[in-house]
Amino acid sequence: MADDQVLTDMLTMVDRSPGVVALRVCVIELLIERGRYADALAHCGTALGQEPGNVQVLGLMMRCTTALSGGSVATSVPDTAVPTPVSTVDPVAVRSGVDPAAPPSAVGPGAVPSEVGPAASPSDFDWAAAENEVGDIIEPAFVHGVPSEFVTDDDAATVERPTLRLADVGGMSEVKQQLDLTLLGPLRNPELAKAFGTSARGGLLLYGPPGCGKTFIASAVAGELGANFYPIEITDILDIYTGASERNVHSIFEMARRNAPCVLFLDEVDALGHKRSQMQASSTMRTVVNQLLTEMDSATHSNEGVFVLGATNHPWDVDVALRRPGRFDRMIFVGLPDLAARTSILHYHLRDRPVAGIDLNALATHTDGLSGADLAHLCTSATQLAMADSMRSGEVRPIGMADIRAALSQIRPSTGAWFESARNVVEFANGDGSYDDLAMYLKRRR
């Protein structure tokens, strides 16, 4: 019965956070342990739809398929057991969204008539010559250079010492000002903060639409403070065994205390610290939230030199006790990248690729409404289009504005659903003014 309760709790968590693949992997493993291979296989399909090519999920899928076909299921699947594709379909054409069955002359940005002449097939493409040709392009030929760079994310779950600074964050001036006022200012001027009766104790919660650089900003804050950076994801905490998740929370805070000064960054706080009032059937997650509350409480633990930063896309789902003074008592809204930030993001993702005639300022102007992740996807899609066209023609050419425009026509903002939810929160659940900054942001973007 205890095992079934664990599975029930994990299934409830997956329902609440369907986009967290690691949670779904835990559910798949539990289902396999209980011999429910068909259910596990269904979850494998969902996980691969979110992260195509995930090696761990592919291995679990093989175990389910083997069991359903009457074979024996190994307790572990080596890396070599992951099925390798046997199709000869052109991978570039697949990634570019082109019909794999289409003839080579149909591959590339835009329709190309079949009578244009014979086209080189992917198998005949001279990769060595292409690499030499690309090598002649010494540096990206941007129309306008950009001095700053905007890196989106680096979530290695180890204590590290970042070299990034807030100056490396392109644009986002309002976010920087709020960080300086609520956290960096009091730390740099302790005597002045003491005179005004304020401090930087407690935690800071960054919230906003997904893919807008909250993790990178947290890393830049650590670099600004000259502190260690300890990024934590929900998969570093949750465990299928009773009591193990709570011990993981305690171990993480202990490591942060040993490495002080340290910025402890908790990603996906809404999944970890979900409202306990909505988890009445999940005793496991309730105790995890209780442990997190205890670790952040200055009355029970000394967190001197440990600065807790959290990030969430849904702050309205975070337990109210986590947002009381002394815990995550301050929130900063991180919205879509502004013009300067978009320019920096585009420059970063195109900096090491062969480009020609790319007007970053014009491109940034026409990409208002896209998140940082959307802009990264735009650069990748344009690169794939140029590469596919090069393979079709047999001649390598750099990425141009035509490729960017073709890719941009196929991309839609990924944050639309988030803003719909945010508008409902501002209209119906902002009685205490917690989301006034979000309300002002939405008003400006109308």
Q: Are residues 196 and 56 in the same domain?
A: no
Tell me which residue range forms the domain holding 34. Answer: 2-81
- Flag whether pLDDT at 388 surpasses 90: yes
Tokens of 52: 């195509």
Band (pLDDT 50/70/90 cuts) for residue 289 is confident
Which of 32-36, 170-174, 182-186, 415-419 bottoms out in mean pLDDT, i.e. has the lowest? 182-186
* Per-residue pLDDT, 149: 39
Q: Are residues 181 and 321 in the same domain?
A: yes
Whether 430 is in a domain gets the answer: no
* Residue 294 and residue 189 share a domain: yes
CATH code: domain of residue 47: 1.25.40
What is the rounded average pLDDT for all residues in the chain? 79
What's the pLDDT band for 344 if we cut at 50, 70, 90? very high
Same domain, 51 and 173: no
Give the residue from 336, 371, 403 where a domain finishes. Answer: 336
Q: Are 336 and 209 in contact (CB under 8 A)?
A: yes
What does the pLDDT read at residue 322? 86
**50 and 187 part of one domain:** no
Return the residue matching tokens 């393979």.
391
Residue 42 has pLDDT above 80, yes or no: yes
In a domain, 441, yes or no: no
In a shared domain, residues 64 and 212:
no
CATH number at residue 312: 3.40.50.300
Q: Is residue 415 part of a domain?
A: no
44 lies in some domain: yes
- 126-130, 210-214, 394-398: which has the minimum mean pLDDT? 126-130
Residue 115 has pLDDT above 70, yes or no: no
Q: Which amino acid is at 134?
A: V
Predicted pLDDT of residue 280:
60
How many Å apart are CA 290 and CA 273, to the nearest integer? 9
420-437: average pLDDT: 92
Q: What is the pLDDT of residues 74-99, one digit of tens each?
A: 444 334 334 434 333 343 343 344 44
Has residue 156 been placed in a domain?
no
Q: Residue 108: pLDDT band by 50, 70, 90 thresholds? A: very low
Q: Which burial class, exposed, middle or buried, applies to 187 when counting CB atoms under 10 A from its CB (0-12, 13-18, 19+)?
A: middle
Instruction: Specify if 152 maps to a domain.
Output: no
Is residue 32 pLDDT above 50, yes or no?
A: yes
- Domain assignment of residue 259, yes or no: yes
Confidence band, pLDDT 50/70/90 cuts, at residue 8:
confident
The residues, ordered by sequence, that sit 6+ positions from 398 with a Cβ below 8 Å of its Cβ are 137, 141, 354, 355, 356, 386
Q: For position 89, what pLDDT does the model report?
A: 39
Indicate whether this model's pTM tops 0.85: no
Instruction: Provide mean pLDDT across the span 260-268.
Output: 89
Of 353, 401, 358, the C-alpha closest to 380 is 353
Which of 60, 81, 102 is the last residue before a domain boundary? 81
pLDDT recorded at residue 110: 40
Mean pLDDT of 369-386: 95
Number of domains in the chain: 2
**In which band, very low, low, confident or very high, does the pLDDT at 288 lie, cut at 50, 70 and 90?**
confident
Question: Which strands, in side-by-side order, build the sheet including 228-232?
Answer: 228-232, 262-266, 306-312, 203-207, 328-333
Q: Three-state SS for 399?
A: strand
Is residue 296, in this structure, part of any structural domain at all?
yes
Please check whether residues 70 and 185 belong to one and the same domain.
no
Domain boundary among 54, 81, 108: 81
* Mean pLDDT value of segment 57-86: 61
- Predicted confidence at residue 2, as pLDDT, reads 54
Q: 141 vs 124, which has greater pLDDT?
A: 124
Residues 304, 173, single domain; the answer is yes
Tell me, yes or no, whether 184 and 69 share the same domain. Answer: no
